[in-house]
């Protein structure tokens, strides 16, 4: 069984445009909560000590808008549409 990696933004690493283009700053590991000058979402999750931005009470927020998932979809799954 293949393990599916989920980035801190919530997108499957295998479908992330940066990973597909071999431009992920974390290589094969994918995005994790840590200081990351390329990803505001990963840095924010690191600072808030959460694994996924969906775990944050402020989700979706302005930082979410910088990620690969549409903001409208984030609002929908959060129930804050």
| Residue extents of the structural domains in the chain | 13-78
Q: What is the pLDDT of residue 2?
A: 74
Query: Which residues partner with 6 through β-bridges?
Result: 12
CA 79 to CA 67: how far, in whole Å? 19
- Give me the tens of pLDDT residue by residue for the chain, a chain 81 residues long: 778 888 888 888 888 888 888 888 777 788 888 888 878 888 999 999 999 988 999 999 999 888 778 888 888 888 886
| CB burial of residue 78 (10 Å; 0-12, 13-18, 19+) | middle
For residue 80, what pLDDT is reported?
A: 80
- What the block records as the tokens of 59 is 């989700």
The answer to whether the beta carbons of residues 36 and 7 sit under 8 Å apart is no
pLDDT of residue 66: 82
Find, among 48, 56, 49, 25, the residue nearest to 38 by Cα: 25
């Amino acid at each position: 069984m293949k393990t599916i990696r989920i980035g801190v933004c919530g997108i499957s690493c295998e479908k992330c445009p940066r990973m597909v283009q071999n431009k992920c700053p974390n290589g094969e590991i994918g995005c994790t909560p840590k200081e990351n000058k390329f990803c505001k979402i990963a840095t924010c999750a690191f600072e808030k000590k959460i694994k996924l931005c969906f775990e944050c009470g402020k989700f979706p927020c302005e930082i979410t808008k910088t990620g690969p998932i549409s903001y409208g979809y984030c609002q929908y799954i959060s129930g804050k549409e």
